[in-house]
Amino acid sequence: MHTVIRNYKGQPKLADELKKRSKDVESLINTVPGFIAYYLVKSNDGMVSVTVCDDKAGCDESSKRAANYLREELPDMKVAAPEIIEGDLLFKFANYKTSSV
């Protein structure tokens, strides 16, 4: 599995706007070949998104789609390119029984 983390700094309203459009974001990213999971985290001065796919090609496609979506659907926000961190996922675990999201 491969993971890409996009850190959007200086965009305090971006996470809230994307939360309002969560169904659009889900439709956009959910159809990426090899898609596994997506997480959106609101930070103090912006947001962080985490995408997990079967391979790097899927993560690359998700990044391309995310950039296009922001440019086309939120042009007034003038979102700067995020800091990107990516690599192979070495292990994972989760406890979704306690999740309220």
Q: pTM for this one?
A: 0.88
User: 37: closest CA among 20, 62, 66?
Assistant: 62
Confidence tier at 101 by pLDDT (50, 70, 90) = low
Tell me what pLDDT residue 99 has: 62
What is the SS3 string spanning 22-40?
Answer: HHHHHHHHHCCCCEEEEEE
100 pLDDT exceeds 80? no
pLDDT tens readout for residues 31-90: 999 999 999 999 998 999 999 999 999 999 999 999 999 999 999 888 888 999 999 999
What's the fold here for domain 2-89?
A: Alpha-Beta Plaits (3.30.70)
pLDDT tens readout for residues 20-30: 999 999 999 99
**In the sheet where 35-43 sits, what is the strand order?**
35-43, 46-53, 2-9, 83-88
Q: Which residues of 30-48 are buried (b: 16+ CB within 10 A; e: fewer)?
A: eebebbbebebeeeeebbb
